[in-house]
Structure 1
Amino acid sequence: MPLRKPLLASLAVIAAGLALLGGLSILQSAERNAEPATFPEGDPKRGAYLARMSGCIGCHTDAENGGAPLAGGTAIETRFGSFVPPNVTQHPNAGIGDWTVADFARAVRQGTSPDGDPYYPAFPYAMYTRMSDQDVADLWAAFQTVAPAEGGRDGNDLAFPFSIREGLHVWRALHFEPARFEPDPARSEAWNRGAYIVTGPGHCGACHTPRGLLGGRDDDRFLEGGSDGPGGAKVPAITPQALKKAGWAHEDLVTALRTGLTPEGDSLGSGMGEVVRDGTAWLTDADLKAIATYLLEPRNPNGG
């Protein structure tokens, strides 16, 4: 009998947790219905460019092992376990071939599957949420041109309790707020373009912003770096103050993002090297200059 009270207390906690999750699930359903009924016509060429900017190619392609484009990437190691980027080809079973553009929009901007299940935030939907309807339509048009491929569904390997997907409802309530990008009228066109790329599809803050106990970004320390990058790698600060202190100039940043070479002639680290190879090296000079403009100009702590 001495175990009766602790057991009842534990059951009460579990019941309360399930009630909370149930309530959050209802809220999440409302989020799913927030996407527009129709989207503009997509431009696959612009979508392919956005896919490079967003890191889709590098993340969802296992290039080292000869994987088909977007047929699933290599595992991303974190302190919570490993996340395997899934197959996003047009395969109807292994990929997203049976999705609609609305399904795609909910995944990209709200982090939920067509069935309403939450995605782990290793998928940076908390930053992709800033994309416009036209961005989503263009990406969707580009993804529809990707040939179907098998594989890429090996699954995640996460430690308990992070392996319980329902717990993501709590994470989302604490750390996710859907919001489109809003330009700052007091800033230049280049600064706003850079802000859109860095805080949106480029998702620089996913690695360069410190994260808390549950993996939520500390936006009061936006781009201040940290020791919790992929594979436990240390990630440097890229605030205006940090970059200028380290001697980075505008053209240095543009060159590094295009070639992967630092002002001293060194190569950027393996993680950032992959970002350059699969992403920023493909961007236009205008966009690279916009990123540099945004990174080097003082801004608010939350990235504004």
Structure 2
Amino acid sequence: MQSPIPMSALLLCYLFFVMYLGPRIMANRKPFQLKEAMIVYNFALVVLSIFIVYEFLMSGWVTTYTWRCDAVDTSDSPQALRMVQVAWLFWFSKIIELMDTIFFVLRKRHGQITFLHIFHHSFMPWTWWWGVCYAPGGMGSFHAMVNSSVHVIMYFYYGLSAAGPRFQKFLWWKKYMTAIQLIQFVLVSLHATQYYFMDSCDYQFPLIIHLVWMYGTFFFVLFSNFWVQAYVKGKRLPKKDVMQCQNGTAVITNGKHHENGNGINHGDINGSAHHENGGSHVGKMKKA
């Protein structure tokens, strides 16, 4: 934490790998499965996120904070230092979460490496490094606690998804993950907004409140656009009657999309349209 240069260099290496080097390396290679690694990774982040939420709560949010204007405790008291430690741990968790994109690259899931994804994963650790340096705690840490709470749910979902097809029936709530993200940004923005209506507030770093408010509003707009594109217009979902070829088997889906964590798309199959052999059908498949 003595200098932002190592952190900035790491993030630049991350951007270079996920946007250029990684795709070039994987261009002529088969995607890695990484099933076991992803299961361990996701559930480890569930445990870490639970611990971070607990530490934020015990460091002030359910002990001494008012949930309104809470200043940063700059003393050397055990509770103040506990808040500094969990603020650093939250920042470090953002570094760990860079692996999300690395997994996408290695599994050749290029469609999931969106501007929203890359911006979120690179912007958060860079800004929070300054938060740990100058304002570890106080009302500016509210969004970190909320974000960690959401990540408990999110990485639990990812862990089940990576576990395989037998867990697909437990993932009916995928659509609501985006809704949970939207609720997160509403809560964060509302909590920051109250600062502007207070007669006085002793919080030492108003700039952070301004940034948190802009961050919550900006990401609410981005995630709302994702919601509209994916679940209203359906642009991020497979079109109806899409022909897919998986291991030589032609499958016609009805537009429903599922992922089993191993890079294979499954859909509801129209029984009469599913053939594993047959010259005429193979010819049509190749033409398609």
Q: TM-score, normalised by structure 2?
A: 0.26
Normalized per residue, which structure has more helix? 2
Q: TM-score, normalised by structure 1?
A: 0.25
